[in-house]
Structure 1
């Protein structure tokens, strides 16, 4: 019997997907030479409302893995085969699609008459044409190493259980705070201390530093937080609601800080990479916003409004939408780049965002209904039963508001890269 599905996780994944699509639409328009300053500032303000997107997918990856494997040792060969089919195969397929799509519209591709296999192989390790796909490689590292993470988490859990000076809740809070401090130090090292290392060092160390955002090491805290949430969901909900007023205040303060920081450090053209994910202040606003949104979803989980149903639907098809959305942005940009949009960058960005979301999710939904959908959008088609007897999953009662019957968990939480 499967565990009950936690609705707020799917809804949070839907929000994260929308944030990521907005980020990449903003990146398409904010760097154009004809952008007016008011549009540039407004897009920067919207951009800082979306910073939670990618790390939230890492958090949700940890949540799902620890939730479904917390009390059992995974069969590693079966576990990897399943994740390979659900995640890596779609990555390879869409890498090929993006590689072909960019070259088909390049005259040099047809004039050369050769098939550049080396560039395609490079895309499988360092995606460029599908600029967002590198994050699949990063998240897949968590799946490959998950049995080790699980054993380490179980070891820590046993040690915490033997502590007598602190209660279980106090021990977990202390552990999270210590981990957050260590991760903040890692972000400081990444953003400030390694600035000149890439130039000073020789390969392969300079290459490893240059592409350090491709490594799970730079995102491990969000994965750890997912384990804490998964292993104590009711306690987690309770604390998210209690901390909500403080999280709101922290988010507002950091939102103002990051906006000022970017505008102060930019010239005529805004530099959004000033608020990269691998920066201590960005880490703080991400945590504040992600946990704040989680708290709101907990408060609303008994309502089951159309608004929540929409985010649940978006969350279900978000992986396929994530894979395809950059291709839609490419198509829109093919039309908008030759245009002079002075004074119109903000409305065009918002319109492009709506079109991208709608078409991406429609394609993801459509592909999920076709054979082989597991290998295209990471979703397996639901099987219709001809028997009047309800299946085990369908007959599971709702235990509490916010829970629903168990559905397929083939779709894994994924994330997207920073704006480059």
Structure 2
């Protein structure tokens, strides 16, 4: 018997997936030469509502692993499952995106098909399937997870022997110390490491240039994932109690980030000003993540149709994540020749809706085909498994445990 599952994680993953698709839909339109200033500002405002997307995927990846592997683990079986369910789909989709961008373009054949070497680069630094960088980053975490799991078990074991108030204070101290250290790392990354990369020779300059691909640059989200996994009841209580404060912090940082981007951009908006590795972006991400988690807890048992929709989206979000950039490419083939005038915001929203529907539909269909695990990281579930999950879901509101094992 596996651990009981609670839909809030699946629902949070759905929101993160929707946020990422919105980001990429906006990026397709906000840099076009004919965009009007009003649309640029509106798209920037919408963009800063979505910054929690990828870090939330990191958080969920960590919390699922720490929750499900809180005891001894077989490393061979563990890494084999991650390679099969995560890395193999990455390889398949890397080839698909490369074929779409290179082989199906006239320039590839004009060069005599000599661009095959770029495929190897795509496996290391994905550009065609631009969202696939996340897979390479999270695989680093999987490789070193046994070390993190051992530390987690050791620290958690010591915390469990403490009095409840002392244990809570100790957890807050861990969060505060790691948060301060992470904030300092982001400050150096955003303000200093660029100049360091210019001064240093290879390979150090390359490591600094592509530092956003390193799992270390997302370390704090792994830490709070471990904190959540250790005591879901406390985590839920904290998120609900912090709702007013997380909402206020999010609102303040939302205004701050929008102002920074608009002030720092020229004629064309530069969304890279609010990169994930900017300290201010880290604050808004944490505030929004806690805000959304708390709201999901408050909504459990209410708005059942909406929550069921989120659960369904979250269930097929990994496959949707893999395919969604291809859908945006296809839509762009029709929209890029058009003179959109003042309709960039409308087209961005339309692209978002079409991409969500198409990518989830493709993920759903592929998940029900033989060999689905090699393509979208999901196996076709039997009716018995579905019945078991439905039974688990009905009992979720009566327990303070969580799980979500893909």
What interval of TM-score do these two structures reach, taking the shorter chain for normalisation? over 0.9
Cα separation, partners in 2 of 1:403 and 1:365, compared to 1, 3 Å: farther
Counterparts of 2:384 and 2:241, CA distance in 1: 44
Counterparts of 1:362 and 1:394, CA distance in 2: 22
- When structure 1 is superposed on structure 2, of 156-165 and 73-82 the one drifting more is 156-165
Paired residues for 1:19-418 under 5 Å: 19-70=19-70, 72-114=71-113, 116-161=115-160, 167-303=166-302, 305-385=304-384, 398-401=394-397, 409-410=405-406
Q: C-alpha displacement at 1:405, in angstroms? A: 12
Q: C-alpha displacement at 1:289, in angstroms? A: 0.3
1:31/1:269 contact within 8 Å kept: yes
Question: What secondary structure does 1:287 align onto?
Answer: helix
Cα separation, partners in 2 of 1:358 and 1:378, compared to 1, 3 Å: same
Q: C-alpha displacement at 1:391, in angstroms? A: 7.8
2:156/2:230 contact within 8 Å kept: no
Question: What secondary structure does 2:130 align onto?
Answer: coil
Question: What secondary structure does 1:167 align onto?
Answer: helix
> 1:129-157: per-residue Cα shift (whole Å, max 9, x none)?
11111110001111111111001112222
Counterparts of 1:13 and 1:150, CA distance in 2: 22
1:88/1:136 contact within 8 Å kept: yes
Cα separation, partners in 2 of 1:353 and 1:403, compared to 1, 3 Å: farther
Cα separation, partners in 2 of 1:233 and 1:408, compared to 1, 3 Å: closer
Gaps of 5+ in 1: 411-420
With normalisation by structure 2, the TM-score equals 0.95
Q: C-alpha displacement at 1:305, in angstroms? A: 1.2
Counterparts of 2:228 and 2:403, CA distance in 1: 20
Counterparts of 1:122 and 1:141, CA distance in 2: 18
2:232/2:400 contact within 8 Å kept: no
1:367/1:377 contact within 8 Å kept: yes
Cα separation, partners in 2 of 1:408 and 1:241, compared to 1, 3 Å: closer
Runs of 4+ that moved beyond 3 A: 111-117, 158-166, 390-400, 402-408
Question: What secondary structure does 1:55 align onto?
Answer: helix
1:321/1:360 contact within 8 Å kept: yes
Counterparts of 2:277 and 2:391, CA distance in 1: 45
Counterparts of 1:324 and 1:366, CA distance in 2: 12
> 1:212-255: per-residue Cα shift (whole Å, max 9, x none)?
01101000110111111111001110111111010011100000
CA RMSD for the aligned pairs? 2.2
Q: C-alpha displacement at 1:159, in angstroms? A: 3.9
With normalisation by structure 1, the TM-score equals 0.92
Q: Which residue of 2 aligns with 1:414?
A: none
Q: How many residues in Structure 1 have an aligned counterpart in Structure 2?
A: 406
Q: C-alpha displacement at 1:164, in angstroms? A: 7.1
Counterparts of 1:112 and 1:258, CA distance in 2: 44
- When structure 1 is superposed on structure 2, of 397-406 and 105-114 the one drifting more is 397-406
Q: Which residue of 2 aligns with 1:413?
A: none
> 1:282-324: per-residue Cα shift (whole Å, max 9, x none)?
0000000011000000001122511111111000000000000
More helix by share: 2
Question: What secondary structure does 1:133 align onto?
Answer: helix
Cα separation, partners in 2 of 1:326 and 1:223, compared to 1, 3 Å: same
Cα separation, partners in 2 of 1:403 and 1:11, compared to 1, 3 Å: farther
